[in-house]
A and B are shown apart, each in its own frame.
Chain A
Amino acid sequence: MNPYHTEILATAALYALLALGLNLIVGYAGLLHLGYAAFFGIGAYTYALLNLHLGWPFWAGLPAAGLVAGIAAVLLGLPAIRVRGDYLAIVTLGFGEIVRVVATNLEGWTGGPNGLMGIAHPSIGPIRFGVDAGPYFVLLVFLVAAVAWISVRLRRSRLGLAWLAIKEDELAAGCLGVDPLRMKLLALALGGWVAGMAGCVFAAKQGTITPDSFDFIQSVMILAMVILGGLGSVAGAIWGAAILSIAPELLREFSTYRMLLFGLMMILLMRVRPQGLFGK
């Protein structure tokens, strides 16, 4: 285990957390969201601003980042939720891009394209996290385990069944007394909350954030992880994240060809197994 390997593992764990959060929105509630990275970004900027301006420590920033991102997800979801299917995908994509452009252009607050730097690393009592990826990996594994546990518990709960119902047939679910709007907003809130926490950890780990880390490609990568693993599958989201974040590293010896091969891999996988690795 050299630092390079720990770094890859920490990245994989971060993506696993994001994939689990997006799985709640796309896999559980069936809302095709293409702007998920925006909530990741909102969480990162929330912690960065709270830390730089008000001196908040990481452990106070973590819930705050989750809360702000969750609220943002609901607020952006309120107008978007009425459109369906592919159209929802496009609206969310638009919102995601707008968040990124705002972060790029509001230079007074966000530092513009250069982003924010000097964000504090976390510490627990005398233990300081620093730049090494190891402690972050441990922290992220805890978070992944917690969100995975919540996800599994949710699936058989009233909420999980309501999501399943609106995903299968929204009209029928509505007639049976499930409020589709509320259920969808709840999924967005939960998913946004997870992304916000992931953003907070990311900001604390990197110490520097720029709007580029939260662009459309990032949203697409997270979505690809969820779909590769199989929609709605908790194990699938984690495996999908592990595979897609480690594969480009393994392909590194092909250097310039690696993203080409990555695209090809996505095409082939969907041909061979369109329902994902763990999908039914």
Chain B
Amino acid sequence: MNLFLQQLLNGLTIGAVYALIALGYTMVYGILQMINFAHGEVFMVGAYFGLSVILAFGLAAPVPGGVAWLVGVICAAAAGCALLGLLIERVAYRPLRKAPKLSVLITAIGVSFFLQNAVMLCWGAQDRYVPELLPVRQMGEGAVAVTPMQVVIFAVSLLLMIGLQWVVHGTKLGRGMRAVAQDPLAARLMGIPVDRVIAVTFAIGSALAGVGGVLFGVYYSTINFHDGYLTGLKAFTAAVLGGIGNLPGAMLGGLLLGLLEALGAGYISAQWKNVVAFAVLILVLLLRPRGLLGERLAERA
């Protein structure tokens, strides 16, 4: 029973990180019907931004006020990734908006190669150690170990998801995003600055991926320039599982995928952990391609 609860908790923690990244996939897909394959690399760059900020302030060990520091690091990485997302959209994707889908796919792969190798050149190819900002200790007396870091990851993810819901459903910008997603041409005719809305969507999605990157780094304490590919793919699976284009779906999908993966690793074998995500992905696409909460038909793709 303890193993079960522990894996549940671990799964939900990493699931929250998947959910943050999945939001970026789903937002861009909702608006452009395009799978941004480079999104996983933005997440990875975010983790390295976080590492650099931590090192720049010499935060080598748990410090007093660690949570405040961590929030600062997260904000810095999010801002960096938002800029990166804007740049990618402007330079790589916008010129191809009318091009065949396959060319966009190749461009995204090109962006991935570029970012991976840029990170490798700037920060080195070997695993990098990310200092723990929060004390590693068990909280409370329970049988299940909850660390402060896990609490922070939950809190940050939850706040951001609520914030995003508010942006999309409660602001003028969000109304613009939903309008562009429904019909870009009609949105343009209604005076919505479509290009700007798309750019902001990329910025927000990339910022969330950046936050995910920092949390991933401080949670696992090691990062590598290869991390973006697999984690990005899992986050994409989460988005598909929840119903791509659907924001609550991405959150649900992320948490569920984290859970399934942790339970698979705990009860089957850690070696096959990465297969769980792919198996889930394939099963969902075959049995329920619109995902758990999706309304859009897969045929539109």
Contact = CB atoms under 8 A, between A and B. Distances in A.
Say if A and B assemble together: yes
Interface of A: 26, 32, 79-80, 82-87, 89-91, 93-95, 97-98, 101-102, 105, 216, 220, 223-224, 227-228, 231, 256-257, 259-260, 262-267, 269-271, 274-275
Given A85-B301, A259-B117, A260-B117, A79 B286 contact: yes
B113 A259 contact: yes
Given A87-B285, A87-B289, A97-B278, A266 B101 contact: no
B243 to A, nearest CB: 12
Given A105-B271, A274-B100, A83 B285 contact: yes
B109 interface: yes
B102 A32 contact: yes
B240 interface: yes
A83 B298 CA distance: 7
Contacts of B103: 227, 270, 274-275
B92 interface: yes
B20 interface: no
B110 interface: yes
B281 interface: yes
Interface of A is mostly: helix
Given A97-B275, A227-B106, A275-B103, 17 more contacts: A26-B102, A80-B282, A84-B298, A85-B101, A86-B35, A87-B298, A90-B281, A94-B279, A101-B272, A105-B272, A224-B109, A256-B120, A256-B121, A260-B118, A260-B121, A263-B112, A267-B111
15 contacts: A32-B102, A83-B286, A85-B301, A86-B35, A91-B281, A98-B275, A98-B279, A101-B278, A105-B271, A231-B102, A259-B113, A260-B113, A263-B114, A267-B111, A275-B103
A257 B112 CA distance: 14
Nearest to A215: B229
Contacts of A270: 96, 99, 103-104, 106-107, 110
Interface of B is mostly: helix
Contact of A275 (B100, B236, B282, B299): B100
B281 A265 contact: no
A-B complex: 9 closest residue pairs judged by Cβ atoms = A266-B110, A263-B113, A263-B114, A274-B103, A85-B301, A274-B99, A260-B117, A94-B278, A267-B110
B158 interface: no
B98 to A, nearest CB: 9
B102 A266 contact: no
Sorting the interface of chain B by its residue count into under 10, 10 to 19, 20 to 34 or 35 or more gives 35 or more
A216 B116 CA distance: 15
B97 to A, nearest CB: 11
Interface in B94-148: 95-96, 99-107, 109-118, 120-121
Contacts of B171: none
A264 B109 CA distance: 10
Contacts of A227: 102-103, 105-106
Interface of B: 35, 91-92, 95-96, 99-107, 109-118, 120-121, 229, 233, 236, 240, 271-272, 274-275, 278-279, 281-282, 285-286, 289, 298-299, 301
Nearest to A257: B121
A90 B301 CA distance: 12
A26 B281 CA distance: 22
A98 B278 contact: yes
Contacts of A259: 113, 116-117
A231 B106 CA distance: 12
Contacts of B96: 270-271, 274
Contacts of A93: 233
A82 B117 CA distance: 36
A224 B113 CA distance: 12
Contacts of B111: 263, 267
A96 B68 CA distance: 43
A274 B278 CA distance: 30
A26 B109 CA distance: 17
